[in-house]
Amino acid sequence: MAGLWFEEFAVGMVFEHAWTRTVTETDNVLFSTMTMNPQPLHLDAHFAATTEFGRPLVNSLFTLGLLIGMTVNDTTLGTTVGNLGMTEVRFPRPVFHGDTLRARTEVLATRASKSRPADGIVEFLHRALNQDGTEVATCRRIALMRRRPA
């Protein structure tokens, strides 16, 4: 497994995830239309040109999904039972077509599961940064993680 078992996480661990991704116009248009989001700020270049941004914004839920996805290989791949929640989701700066994102994760908390003795709970703080190092998204995520098999 590429992911870590519950016991391998410690508060304060920081992951600088190696995977990066350049966001394309196709990503934005496909995601927006697949999720039935007709917001012209994402889909209409002429409309977006009249806004303070001057060009289309990448759908923030695509940015969030990409952020979480870039963290999986190092943290939860094959070792998670599932996500329990995401809170404090923020998008402090916009993402545009052509931006390249990377992710950083910090482990904020760990605890044994009270209802599932074979599992534990890990709280992560994920951050997405663009090619200039500007933070474009943050999210606190709580995951139910498998303990190492006996």
Note the pLDDT of residue 91. 98
Note the pLDDT of residue 150. 80
Asked whether 89 and 138 are in contact (CB, 8 A), the reply is yes
Q: How far apart are CA 148 and CA 150, in angstroms?
A: 6
pLDDT in tens, 46-102: 999 999 999 999 999 999 999 999 999 999 999 999 999 999 999 999 999 999 999
The pTM of this model reads 0.93
CATH of 6-24+58-146, one of 3.30.750.24, 1.10.1840.10, 3.40.50.620, 3.10.129.10: 3.10.129.10
pLDDT in tens, 124-149: 999 999 999 999 999 999 999 999 98
Type and span of the H or E element at 107 = strand 100-112
* Mean predicted confidence (pLDDT) in 17-45: 96
